[in-house]
Every structure is written in C-alpha cells, then in structure tokens.
C-alpha cells in the first residue's frame, strides 16, 4: 500500500470526492506513478498486470481532461480487448465522474444493439469500446474522432493476441495527430513496441514493481493426477476446500462447457463464460457471479478479462495456462484488496509438473506439490465444518417459537435425536460423495518394473477425442484403472495407448464394440502399422512431444 494519499495527486474536488466515495484513500503504485504524468499531457506506456488498479489510473485523467464547454464530439476514446472489460472500465469511469457535470459516457461493443449505441454516441464525450465495434461505427460515420484529446489502449497485448492490431492502427491513424496516447500492457512484445514508436511521442515508461505484482499473499499449489481423472479430481478438491466464491480457468471454450455440465450434474452452483455466448448471456452470468447467486465461474482467459470481483477465495487452473503472464493474470483474481487467497493447478503427468516447476521459478513463488485428499478426509472435513456451524449458532438466542416446536414434537413421540438429525439434514443436505478416490501420481511409482505394450484404437483428433475420453473408455470397458494406463498418443485418425503387457489380450477383447465420443471403435495390438487403415502414417513426421497433452490446446481456440 502506498503511503501517498489521493489528495496528494492534485485532483479536482469533484474527482477527489468521487474517489473517496468509492472507498479509496491510498493510490496503488500504478495510480500514483501514472496519474500525474497523464494529467501533465505525457504519452505513457504502463506495464502493469490485471488487478493493480490501472482502470482508475487512466480513468481519473480521462474524466479530468473533459471540457464540458465543448458540447459535441468525443474527447476521450478508450479501447479494450473484450466486451466485459469495456463494460467494467465504463462502469468505473461513471463512478469517477459521479460529481463532475458534463461527463457523458458510452460503451460500444459487439453483441449489443447498435441503434442504442448510436443514440448514446450523439451526446457522449468519453467512449469505451472494442476495436471491432469502434471500426464499425467509424464506417457508419456514427463515431466522429476530430475532437479526440486522449486515446487509451487498455490490455494492449491482449488486443494484439486477439488480432486487433490492424484495427488499432486504423483507429489511431484516423485521429488528429495532436492527441495524447496512453497504453497499458502486461507484456511488451515487439509489435507493441512498434506501435508505441509509430503513434506515441516520447512516451514515459511506468512499470509496477514486479515483486508487488507477483502474488505474495496467494498460496500456490498443484496436484498431479492421472490423465482422465482431472474432472473427478476437480470435483473432490471443490468438496475439500468448499470455496465461498471461486474461478476455474480452461484453455478452450469446449472445456468450459464440459466442466460446467459436469459440475452442474454433481450439484455445484456453477456457470460458464466464454466468447461464443451471446452478450445477454454473458452479462447475466457475470451479474450472478458478482452477486453471489453462483459460487463457481468457469472461464477462458479472454472471457475473464475485465472481471473485477474482490472476494474470490480460490482460483483453480484446470488447464495449465499457456504462458507465465496468463498464470499471473489468473491467480491475481484471488488475494485482492489485501486479502489472502489460494491458487490451485491440476496437472497430469511429468511434463505438466515440470511446467509448474518452471512457472514457480519464473514468478519467484513456492508452488507446493500436494497430495489429493481421500474421500474419507473430505467427508471428515465437511463434518467438522458443519459441526462448527452448529456450535457457533448455539451461542445465539433461540426463539421460543422453535423451542415450542421441539416440545410439541416430543409430545407426539418423536425423539429429540430424530428432530435434530432431520433439521441438520434439511440445513446441510445429504453429502454422499459419488466420485471414487483420485490418487496423486508420483514419479517413483511410474512403471514399478511393469512392462507395457501398445494398443491402437481407430479414432483420433479428427473425431475430437481427448486423452480423458480414451482413459474413460478403457477404464469403463476393462478392469484397468486410470493409474494403470500408460502413455497416450493421439494422432489425426488413431490413438496409441500403452497398457500393462499382461493385460493386453483381455483389454483388446473387452474393448470390442466400445464407443468413444459416440463412435464405434476397433482396438488392436499396435505393431507400428495398422491393418484396418491402409493410409496410417507409419512415417508420421510429427514429434511425439506435439501429441498427447497438447492436443487439447489445439482445439476450440
């Protein structure tokens, strides 16, 4: 926390009153470094992660620069990568402008009524939007940029990764040269640096201390579980930790849908969020999560941009994030506003655990390897939590109304024990755990001297098969368990699986007629070629490292 106060930043009395009304006293590091420079008219490059307070850092100067005497035309344009982030930034700016007359905002993004946006744009002087919809309004001539004084590029690296770079260049080129350009980005790839050289005038670098961005108040851990048992592991971990509000991150939209469906079937309060959903759906999901109506939000990295919720106690990485920045962005959703939080990653196999070890070094954190809790441990933990709730409630005043109810039930011959047990079941429900144990994997247990042979199944990536589908099919058709199954290599039209040598004949026999993803399959001994497919690529040049776990990343981006 900064020792400076907002009153030290020479804000107008209206803005200072609004900031105080929002509950802020001390500016964050990015705020006290960036606000004075922006208000002086400097172009800046702000290097800052999500959760450091950068919306206020550019929001305050954006409102301060508005000249209410200019009745028409946009004076500030703010570009964001996603609809959610645009909505969040606009909502924050409205709060900052609460006591300043003449500030009118409009948010413009795809998936919403363009007619309503056109109406708002006629009077707006601050516009927050996504590049695609901004370009759309420019083509329609419903967005005029001749009076723009300041342009803000928020999450510039994310806009770059989403393919908006050409749109951004077109927008900046259309604005009069004499304007201020403020750019915020978590990372600085060469394309962003080229953008600053082309469109900014002697920009000043504002960088948040990396040690403060990395998450000292977040406990980080990972669990290494068998491939194909990750969803079951997620189920058990949610029951063990019992989070008040949590986020689960996936790398693909499809996986968001699969996890949401799975957790819903297992009676969790959950909804998913990704880019294929309609804007009205996304808004409804976000409102439900922020208000606490749902406890668990499953999301992709892009869909989660702009989510600003302070009371998230657990972040769970179902899929390992694709880079260090995504990892920091994800886990930074918890442990906010000085509170502690916990970040959990579910891994499968040695390769993924090695990635976690590298991540720990890069973010300078101790990411602990933990053992999966047993079903008995989870049940005992839940029992203790509920018992403590009862003990705490006994300290309060009990209404005579309920004492009388107990007396009447006793008169009817109902035992006190049955009364209490019935009420407890009504309060807490029946918590039978329907998921089998998931044991953590250990390098030293791998193989244990067992020899393996390979089987081949005539289904692969083209049928949208993932390793968990293969494991589930084998475990469901044979006596093998997930931990018995060895390496899985998924090709376009086939999958090769290592199984214990002594079980290969029975495995092939029991897999007869097995359907995977609804498709009938044939399983045979793998001999390097496959008799049921003449075109099987025996000289497949793809490296084995590109198969298996990475398959999931290549689908549904």
For residue 140, what pLDDT is reported? 93
Hey, how many other C-beta atoms are within 10 angstroms of the C-beta on 52?
Answer: 22
153 in any annotated domain: yes
The verdict on 408 and 530 lying in the same domain is no
In terms of domains, do 342 and 400 share one?
no
| Rounded CA separation 78/82 (Å) | 12
Rounded Cα gap, residues 222 and 529, in angstroms: 38
Residues 320 and 349 placed together within one structural domain of the fold: yes
Structural domain boundaries, residue 485: 447-536
Residue 549 included in any domain: no
Burial 273-305 (b: 16+ CB within 10 A, else e): bbeebeeeebbebbeebbeeebbbbbbbbbbbb
CA-wise closest residue to 63 among 13, 106, 97, 87: 97
Q: Domain containing 487 — which CATH number?
A: 3.30.70.330
Same domain for 110 and 69, yes or no, is yes
Q: Give the burial class of 149: count Cβ atoms within 10 A of its Cβ; 0-12 exposed, 13-18 middle, 19 or more buried.
A: buried
Verify that 370 and 380 share a domain, yes or no: no
- pLDDT of 497 reads 92
For 107, counting Cβ atoms within 10 Å of its Cβ (0-12 exposed, 13-18 middle, 19+ buried), the class is buried
Q: What confidence score (pLDDT) does residue 50 get? A: 62
Q: Is the dihedral of CA 30, 33, 39, 43 positive or negative?
A: negative
Does one domain contain both 388 and 256? no
pLDDT on residue 532 = 44
Residues 325 and 256 in one domain: yes
Quote the number of domains for the chain.
4
CA distance 496 to 550: 15
Least Cα distance to 34 among 4, 57, 52 occurs for: 57
Do 281 and 417 fall into the same domain?
Answer: no
Token pair 């920091």 in the structure block, residue:
328
Contact 29, 208 (CB under 8 A): yes
- The confidence score (pLDDT) of residue 447 equals 42
Residue 452's pLDDT is what?
86
Domain edge (last residue) among 395, 428, 461: 428
Average pLDDT over the chain, rounded to an integer: 82
Distances (CA, A) of 46 to 9, 201, 249, 516: 18, 14, 26, 49
Asked whether the beta carbons of 289 and 309 are under 8 A apart, the reply is yes
Residue 553 lies in a domain: no
Query: What values do phi and psi take at 168, rounded to 5?
Result: -65, -45
Angle at which helices 324-331 and 350-362 pack, to 10 degrees?
A: 80
Is 27 found in the same domain as 170? yes
- 492 and 456 within one domain: yes
Helices marked H in 127-252: 131-140, 156-161, 165-174, 190-199, 210-213, 230-241
DSSP conformational letter for 204: E
pLDDT at residue 550 in the model: 35
Beta bridge partners of 343: 220, 315
Same domain, yes or no, for 208 and 219? no
Q: Does some domain include residue 228?
A: yes
Residue 28, in any domain of the structure: yes
Average pLDDT per consecutive 10 residues, the chain (557 residues; last block may be shorter):
73 92 82 93 86 85 92 92 86 93 93 91 95 94 92 90 88 91 87 90 83 65 89 93 92 90 92 84 87 92 70 92 77 74 90 85 85 87 76 71 80 79 66 70 50 91 84 85 83 90 91 88 80 40 34 36
pTM metric for this prediction: 0.52
Domain with residue 266: its CATH number is 3.40.50.300
Torsion angles phi and psi, residue 245, rounded to 5:
-150, 125
**Residue 552: inside a domain:** no
Helices (H), 40-130: 54-64, 83-96, 114-121
Give the per-residue SS3 of 459-487.
CCHHHCCCHHHHHHHHHHHCCCCHHHCCC
94 with 183, same domain? yes
Integer angstrom CA distances of residue 557 from 159, 280, 328? 15, 22, 20
């Amino acid at each position: 926390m900064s020792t400076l106060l907002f009153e030290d930043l020479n804000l107008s009395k209206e803005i200072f009153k609004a900031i105080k009304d929002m509950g802020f006293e001390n500016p964050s590091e990015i705020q006290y470094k960036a606000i004075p420079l922006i208000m002086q008219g400097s172009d800046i490059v702000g290097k800052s992660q999500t959760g450091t307070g950068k919306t206020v850092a550019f929001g305050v100067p954006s409102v301060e620069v508005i000249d209410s005497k200019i009745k028409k035309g946009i004076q500030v344009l703010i570009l964001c990568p996603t609809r959610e982030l645009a909505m969040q930034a606009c909502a924050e700016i409205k709060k900052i402008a609460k006591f300043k007359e003449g500030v009118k905002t409009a948010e413009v993004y795809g998936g919403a009524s363009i007619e309503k946006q056109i109406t708002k744009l006629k009077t707006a002087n601050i516009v927050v939007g996504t590049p695609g919809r901004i370009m759309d309004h420019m083509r329609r001539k419903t967005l005029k940029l001749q009076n723009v004084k300041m342009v803000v590029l928020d999450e510039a690296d994310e806009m770059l990764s989403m393919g908006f770079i050409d749109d951004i260049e077109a927008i900046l080129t259309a604005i009069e040269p004499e304007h201020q350009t403020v750019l915020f980005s978590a990372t600085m790839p060469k394309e962003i640096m080229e953008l600053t050289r082309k469109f900014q005038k002697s920009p000043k670098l504002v960088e948040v201390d990396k040690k403060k961005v990395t998450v000292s108040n977040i406990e980080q851990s990972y669990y290494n579980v068998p491939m194909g048992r990750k969803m079951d592991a997620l189920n058990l971990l949610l029951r063990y930790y019992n989070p008040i509000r949590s986020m689960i991150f996936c790398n693909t939209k499809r996986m968001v849908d699969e996890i949401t469906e799975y957790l819903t079937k297992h009676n969790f309060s959950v909804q998913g969020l990704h880019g294929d959903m309609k804007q009205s759906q996304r808004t409804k999901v976000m409102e439900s999560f922020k208000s606490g109506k749902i406890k668990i939000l499953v999301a992709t990295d892009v869909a989660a941009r702009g989510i600003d919720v302070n009371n998230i106690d657990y972040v769970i990485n179902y899929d390992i994030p694709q880079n260090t920045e995504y990892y920091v962005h994800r886990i930074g959703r918890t442990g906010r506003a000085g509170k502690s939080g916990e970040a959990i990653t579910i891994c499968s196999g040695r390769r993924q655990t090695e990635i976690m070890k590298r991540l720990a070094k890069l973010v300078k954190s101790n990411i602990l390897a933990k053992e999966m809790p047993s079903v008995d441990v989870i049940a005992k933990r839940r029992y203790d939590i509920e018992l403590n709730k009862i003990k705490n409630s006994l300290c309060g005043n009990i209404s005579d109304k309920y004492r009388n109810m107990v007396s009447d039930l006793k008169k009817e011959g109902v035992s006190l024990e049955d009364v209490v047990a019935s009420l407890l079941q009504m309060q807490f429900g029946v918590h039978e755990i329907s998921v089998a144990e998931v044991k953590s994997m250990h390098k030293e247990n791998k193989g244990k001297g067992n020899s393996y042979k390979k089987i081949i199944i005539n289904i692969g990536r083209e049928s949208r098969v993932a390793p968990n589908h293969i494991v589930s099919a084998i475990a469901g058709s044979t006596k093998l368990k997930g931990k018995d199954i060895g390496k899985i290599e998924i090709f376009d039209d086939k999958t090769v699986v290592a199984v214990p040598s002594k079980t290969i004949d029975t495995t092939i026999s029991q897999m007869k007629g097995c359907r995977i993803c609804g498709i009938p399959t044939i399983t045979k001994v793998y001999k390097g070629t496959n008799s049921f497919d003449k075109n099987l690529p025996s000289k497949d040049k793809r490296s084995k490292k590109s198969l298996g776990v990475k398959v999931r990343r290549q689908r549904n981006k």
